[in-house]
Amino acid sequence: MKITAAEFITSNTDPAKCPDSSLPEYAFIGRSNVGKSSLINMLTQRKNLAKTSGRPGKTQLINHFLINNSWHLVDLPGYGYARVSKSAKKTFQKFITSYFNQRKQLIAAFVLIDSRHAPQPIDLEFMQWLGENQIPFCIIFTKADKLKPKALQRNIKVYSDIMLETWEEMPQYFVSSSTDGTGREEILEFIYHINQQVGN
Ligand code: GDP
């Protein structure tokens, strides 16, 4: 899919105030610093569409971007940032859960996982929650350029093995690098094909 237009629409903390639109929507979420903003900029080929995190945990907002006038890309706040207070964490959980539960337009979430790290409980628990709430998701293993191919394959295998302890099968996954563009075509093709099916 060629990205011909990408524009910021709105930011908010209230799922009820998200754009009133029937366009298909894809949400990007992951731990702070996982490379989410860089990935969104890489996918859309815009330098600063998503703000890369100078101060992780600060931007606890649901950000909607309109892509090619035909679908929404949603940048959700990073989770698991240690310095955020307990009450901030609760608020975060509340609006993220209501976003996922209320947003009928959501086609799928992309859960970003740093390909360098061992599986973290917070990510596994979050995916478990998505599964229990029947929210379709894919995994994106980010920062692939930081690993040699063998180490990358090994880490993905470790991740799959852990997932398969609770999941019947490994969710669909992508490997990305915002530095060299790895994964861009595959992720955009995935979105494109679903949009075709839903008539956009
Ligand atoms: P966010 O907090 O998830 O939005 O993460 P950012 O996109 O701000 O990235 C966090 C840090 O990781 C920044 O220093 C980025 O330059 C770096 N980074 C993000 N993606 C990649 C990648 O694919 N490769 C490399 N080498 N560094 C990355």
The domains of the chain, with CATH numbers, are: 6-198 (3.40.50.300)
What distance in angstroms lies between residue 151's CA and the mean position of ligand 1's atoms? 19
CB of 32 sitting under 6 A from ligand 1: yes
pLDDT score recorded for residue 94: 82
Query: Residue 178 pLDDT more than 70?
Result: yes
pLDDT score recorded for residue 44: 97
- With beta carbons less than 8 A apart as the criterion, state whether 71 and 23 touch: yes
What are the pLDDT digits (tens) for 22-71?
999 999 999 989 999 999 999 999 988 987 655 544 557 899 999 999 99
Return the DSSP state at 168.
S
What are the pLDDT digits (tens) for 113-124?
999 999 999 999
CB half-sphere exposure, 34, CA atoms < 13 A: 32
- pTM, to two decimals: 0.94
Return the DSSP state at 51.
P
pLDDT score recorded for residue 86: 76
Ligand 1 atom with the smallest distance to the CA of 182 is 23
The residue with greater pLDDT, 11 or 157, is 157
Please report which confidence band the pLDDT of residue 81 belongs to, taking 50, 70 and 90 as the band edges.
Answer: low
pLDDT score recorded for residue 32: 87
Nearest to 34 by CA among 94, 63, 74, 77: 77
Strands laid side by side in the 6-12 sheet: 6-12, 62-67, 71-75, 25-30, 106-114, 137-142, 173-175
pLDDT score recorded for residue 85: 73
pLDDT score recorded for residue 59: 58
pLDDT score recorded for residue 82: 59
The rounded mean pLDDT for the chain is 91
User: Whose C-alpha lies nearest to ligand 1, atom 21?
Assistant: 143
Nearest to 103 by CA among 71, 135, 70, 60: 135
pLDDT score recorded for residue 51: 77
pLDDT score recorded for residue 57: 47
Say what percent of the chain tops pLDDT 70.
94
CB half-sphere exposure, 186, CA atoms < 13 A: 15
CB of 59 sitting under 6 A from ligand 1: no
CB of 146 sitting under 6 A from ligand 1: yes
CB of 78 sitting under 6 A from ligand 1: yes
